[in-house]
Amino acid sequence: MHNIAIISSSIRPDRKSHSLALYFKKYLNENFLANAHILVLKEYDFPIFSQTFKKQKNPIKKVMDFAEKIAASDGVIIVTPEYNGGYPASLKNAVDLLYEEWRHKPVGIVTVSSGPFAGSQVLVSFQFSLWKMKAWTITEQFAVPDVEKNYDEEGNSLHKKISEPLTEAFIKELFWCIKADKNLV
Ligand SMILES: Cc1cc2nc3c(=O)[nH]c(=O)nc-3n(C[C@H](O)[C@H](O)[C@H](O)COP(=O)(O)O)c2cc1C
């Protein structure tokens, strides 16, 4: 079974996008599709980025833990809210800690907004940052508008008829990339 790391990137006290990390964890684990675990940036509470972890003399334990979990994953799902048209500083702060670990890593991006536009303006800029590190961002996107109307705090979809086909398509594409990646190396 695939090992999937899900990054929950909002560190706001009353964050809403975390429910999407919970949703994907549940979906993958409860349907026995993958071993999914969440990397919670709010809990990691990394210091402001100064250097990639491999260039640090004594990287702190939680940075090593994050790096190991990304390296060990077959694929990554990144849940990001949109802040002023961009992705949060907490996410950039964590993504830049790594470099080789991202190379050829299949990555699915979930964008989240409390409004009607589903965080869609974040996708291109974030994808570009990942490409710079040679991550494989999948071509399927999962964009969530009105997050509180569509998912509860426990990570349950409130509109399964809409969310399920989108989830299936997103995961199918992620798994296809993981399979292709494994066949190539
Ligand atoms: C600093 C800030 C900027 C925001 N900018 C946008 C934006 O550009 N577009 C948008 O759709 N929502 C924007 N929002 C609303 C977020 O979509 C909403 O707060 C969402 O819940 C954020 O995810 P989070 O709760 O997990 O942090 C912004 C929120 C914050 C805190």
Ligand 1 pocket (Cβ < 6 Å) reads 10, 12, 15-17, 81-85, 112-115, 117, 119, 147
**Contact (CB, 8 A) for 146 and 115:** yes
| pLDDT value of position 7 | 98
Count of domains forming the chain: 1
Q: Whose CA is nearest to atom 4 of ligand 1?
A: 83
Mean pLDDT, rounded, for 129-154? 97
Atom of ligand 1 nearest to the CA of 81: 23
pLDDT recorded at residue 184: 77
In CATH, what number is assigned to the domain containing residue 37? Answer: 3.40.50.360
Report d(CA 78, CA 128) in Å as an integer. Answer: 14
pLDDT over 90, % of the chain: 95
Ligand 1 centroid from CA 1, angstroms: 34
Q: Whose CA is nearest to atom 12 of ligand 1?
A: 113
Residue type, position 170, single letter: F
Q: Is the pLDDT of residue 98 over 90?
A: yes
How far is 87 from 124, CA to CA, in rounded Å?
10
Give the chain's mean pLDDT.
Answer: 96
* pLDDT for 185 beyond 80: no
CA separation, residue 131 to residues 7, 74, 105, 125, 135 (Å) = 17, 17, 10, 10, 5
Each residue's pLDDT tens digit, 5-17: 999 999 999 999 9
Range of the domain at 75: 2-184
The pLDDT confidence band at residue 157, using thresholds 50, 70 and 90, is very high
Distance 155 CA to ligand 1 centre (A): 18
Query: Which of ligand 1's atoms lies nearest the C-alpha of 12?
Result: 27
Mutate to test the pocket of ligand 1, among 19, 79, 80, 84 (most ligand atoms within 8 A of CB): 84
Average pLDDT over residues 154-164: 97
pLDDT of residue 183: 85
Read off the pLDDT of residues 62-76 as tens digits, 9 standing for 90 and up: 999 999 999 999 999
Pocket test for ligand 1, best of 20, 78, 87, 114 (most atoms within 8 A of CB): 114
Is 147 buried (19+), middle (13-18) or exposed (0-12) by CB count in 10 A?
buried
DSSP letters spanning 121-162: GGHHHHHHHHHHTT-EE-S--EEESSHHHHB-TTS-BS-HHH
CA of 80 to the centre of ligand 1 (A): 10
